[in-house]
């Protein structure tokens, strides 16, 4: 009941038909995921076969347990694949529409960039950029609020983790400059 309510609320704003068009159907995604899982299972089965899926003198070899698991995973994914292809009912239900996909990308892409920047600039600078950027461009919040919030957050994180709890995070040139 709660679900239908909130879904109803989100659909209230009139969106052009183009925005509501599905980018992928649930069935299509199920087929792709099943194929990927089956391929993964095959890869794992091959590797475990190589490391030994049989018996040694002292019991099952290292690959024994995972080998049979990959067979199980493979079988279940193939079953899912066949079922997704044959199953007609509900075939048209959308996995995600254009508007939704755009919003998902609005988080996914910045998160990806954040991970990338963490490698070079350290976690604190990257998180400052992520929060300030996200608030400014996605949330359309005023510049000074975005910068101030993210600055406070990054400093608070630094104090909590690196100083108070002794949990060391990746650092970059800025921290080196400040002597940490």
Q: Are 133 and 53 in contact (CB under 8 A)?
A: no
Shortest spacing between CB 111 and other proteins, in angstroms: 5
Question: Which residue, 63 or 175, has its beta carbon nearer to other proteins?
Answer: 63
Shortest spacing between CB 144 and other proteins, in angstroms: 13
Question: Which residue, 102 or 176, has its beta carbon nearer to other proteins?
Answer: 102
Q: Are 102 and 20 in contact (CB under 8 A)?
A: no
Question: Which residue, 139 or 176, has its beta carbon nearer to other proteins?
Answer: 139
Tokens of 158: 């630094």
Question: Which residue, 115 or 176, has its beta carbon nearer to other proteins?
Answer: 115
Question: Which residue, 112 or 143, has its beta carbon nearer to other proteins?
Answer: 112
Shortest spacing between CB 179 and other proteins, in angstroms: 21
Q: What is the dihedral of CA 30, 32, 33, 37, to 10 degrees?
A: 130
Please tell me the distance from the alpha carbon of residue 126 to that of residue 114, in angstroms, as a whole number. 6
Shortest spacing between CB 20 and other proteins, in angstroms: 13
Shortest spacing between CB 147 and other proteins, in angstroms: 12
Please tell me the distance from the alpha carbon of residue 46 to that of residue 70, in angstroms, as a whole number. 9
Please tell me the distance from the alpha carbon of residue 157 to that of residue 166, in angstroms, as a whole number. 12
SS3 26: helix
- Give which of 27, 34, 23 is closest to 87, Cα–Cα: 27
């Amino acid at each position: 009941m709660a679900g239908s309510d909130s879904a109803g609320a989100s659909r209230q704003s009139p969106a052009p038909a183009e925005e509501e068009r599905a980018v992928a159907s649930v069935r299509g995604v199920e087929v792709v995921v099943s194929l990927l899982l089956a391929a993964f299972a095959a890869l794992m089965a091959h590797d475990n076969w190589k490391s030994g899926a049989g018996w040694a003198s002292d019991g099952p070899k290292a690959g024994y347990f995972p080998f049979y698991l990959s067979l199980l995973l493979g079988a279940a994914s193939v079953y899912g694949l066949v079922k997704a292809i044959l199953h007609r009912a509900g075939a048209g239900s959308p996995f995600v529409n254009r508007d939704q996909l755009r919003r998902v990308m609005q988080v996914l892409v910045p998160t990806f960039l954040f991970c990338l920047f963490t490698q070079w600039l350290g976690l604190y600078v990257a998180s400052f950029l992520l929060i300030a950027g996200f608030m400014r461009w996605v949330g359309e919040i005023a510049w000074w609020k975005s910068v101030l919030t993210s600055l406070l957050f990054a400093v608070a994180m630094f104090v909590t983790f690196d100083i108070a709890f002794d949990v060391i995070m990746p650092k970059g040139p800025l921290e080196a400059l400040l002597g940490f």
